[in-house]
Amino acid sequence: MTNMINHPDERLSAYMDDELNETERLEVEHHLASCERCRELLEDLLGLRQAVVGAYEHIQAPNELESRILQALAQKPTPEPAAKGWLSIPLVSLALLSVLLIMAGTVIVKMLSGVVKVLIALLYFVSHFIATAPVLSGLTILLAVGVLMLSGYSLRQLLLSNE
Ligand SMILES: [Zn+2]
């Protein structure tokens, strides 16, 4: 084995970076072949460089990712949720309107049936009254017509106000 002569410590990093000329490289390689200490040193240096590069890449990746996310956010100033929001307003109002129409519909039906019942009762009463008291028939007919017109008018007002 060679004596403990000059280890090319200062050349190892240059060798690692492939910055040596042919002769220097061969000298280092020749030395490494026979010197375990320098092989270990080279391995340490390679490991250290790997760690540095790895750490750098590790730091670099989230930065790139973050900038990409920020870019994506900048490019999309949330137009989709806004569009959905605008779309939901007519849908909600449509649903509310249909509910209101159903409620109003049942109310109108109830009112109509009530009005019809009142009209039937009125007609029955009028016809009965006309039959029993023919003297007042002219007046009661006028009165009945007046009540019918009034109820018809109020019914139309009710329907119009509900529309
Ligand atoms: Zn050596």
pLDDT by position in tens, the chain (length 163):
444 568 998 899 899 989 999 999 999 999 999 999 999 999 999 998 888 888 877 777 777 777 777 788 787 665 555 556 666 777 777 888 888 888 777 777 777 778 788 888 887 777 776 666 666 667 777 888 888 888 888 888 888 876 5
19 DSSP assignment: -
pTM for this one? 0.35
If you measure from the C-alpha of residue 8 to the centroid of ligand 1, how many angstroms do you get, rounded to a whole number? 6
d(CA 91, CA 46) in angstroms, rounded, equals: 65
If you measure from the C-alpha of residue 69 to the centroid of ligand 1, how many angstroms do you get, rounded to a whole number? 50
Cα torsion 51, 53, 55, 57: sign: negative
If you measure from the C-alpha of residue 21 to the centroid of ligand 1, how many angstroms do you get, rounded to a whole number? 19
Which stretch of DSSP H or E encloses residue 3? none
Q: How far is CA 73 from CA 67, 69, 76, 78, 143, in A?
A: 10, 6, 5, 8, 76
Identify the pLDDT of residue 93. 79
Identify the pLDDT of residue 2. 47
If you measure from the C-alpha of residue 6 to the centroid of ligand 1, how many angstroms do you get, rounded to a whole number? 7
If you measure from the C-alpha of residue 45 to the centroid of ligand 1, how many angstroms do you get, rounded to a whole number? 14
If you measure from the C-alpha of residue 56 to the centroid of ligand 1, how many angstroms do you get, rounded to a whole number? 30
If you measure from the C-alpha of residue 22 to the centroid of ligand 1, how many angstroms do you get, rounded to a whole number? 19
Cα torsion 28, 30, 31, 33: sign: positive
Single-letter amino acid, residue 124: Y
